[in-house]
Amino acid sequence: MILLSVPLMVLNLIIVAGVAMVVSPGPVSQLVNNFSSLITGSFSVEIRLLDLLPGIFGLAMLMIVHELLHLAFIPGFLRSDKTYLGIMYAGVYVVTGEVMTLRRYIVISIAPFIVLSVVLPVVLGVAGMLSAGLIILAMLNALGSSVDLMGLILAIVQVPRGSKIVCHGMDTCWKAR
């Protein structure tokens, strides 16, 4: 499913870059200039562990917040014995066996992309607080959200209106009324 979501990765990156360019063009120009100098000129790389720690911490926090946003939109998740937040080698995850409407599934699937890659950059950009590092985190979230959006598109195309959806691990099932 990850390879199938590559076009959505590109689309999501275009959306985030466009939003960032509109609300805060300075950091976007900085990123573009840094990237173009990598391509056109010579460069050297020096990696210092202490310099990597803020980025690693930011990425870890991004993954946690991304999954917590999925969790927050699951109805009654605090009382549910079918909803779990966990950690695997690949990162954090949320899984629920709760029955939900297609509309709720759409909201749960798209919430992290909208909040972290669109709304947050707009708010931070308007406040003058959107940095190049935060744009990169928004873009990384957009890349990760592509798989969520692929699942959302499949649900919209395949699940009849009025049906109920339930997830069983990696499988998502629906039942028409």
| Cα 145 from Cα 103, distance rounded (Å) | 18
pLDDT of 115 reads 98
Between 102-112 and 132-158, two packed helices, what is the crossing angle to 10 degrees? 160
pLDDT in tens, the chain (177 residues): 678 889 999 999 999 999 999 998 888 887 777 777 666 766 666 778 888 899 899 999 999 999 999 999 998 999 999 999 989 887 889 999 999 999 999 999 999 999 999 999 999 999 999 998 899 999 999 999 999 999 999 999 999 989 999 988 778 889 887
Angle at the Cα of 56 from the Cα atoms of 18 and 70, rounded to 5 degrees: 60
pLDDT of 120 reads 97
What global pTM score does this model have? 0.88
Beta bridge partners of 88: 91
| Cα 161 from Cα 81, distance rounded (Å) | 27
H or E segment at 25?
A: helix 25-40
H or E segment at 106?
A: helix 102-112
pLDDT of 109 reads 96
Range of the structural domain that residue 124 is part of: 3-175
Amino acid, res. 162: G
Structurally, the chain folds into a number of domains equal to: 1
| Cα 13 from Cα 64, distance rounded (Å) | 20
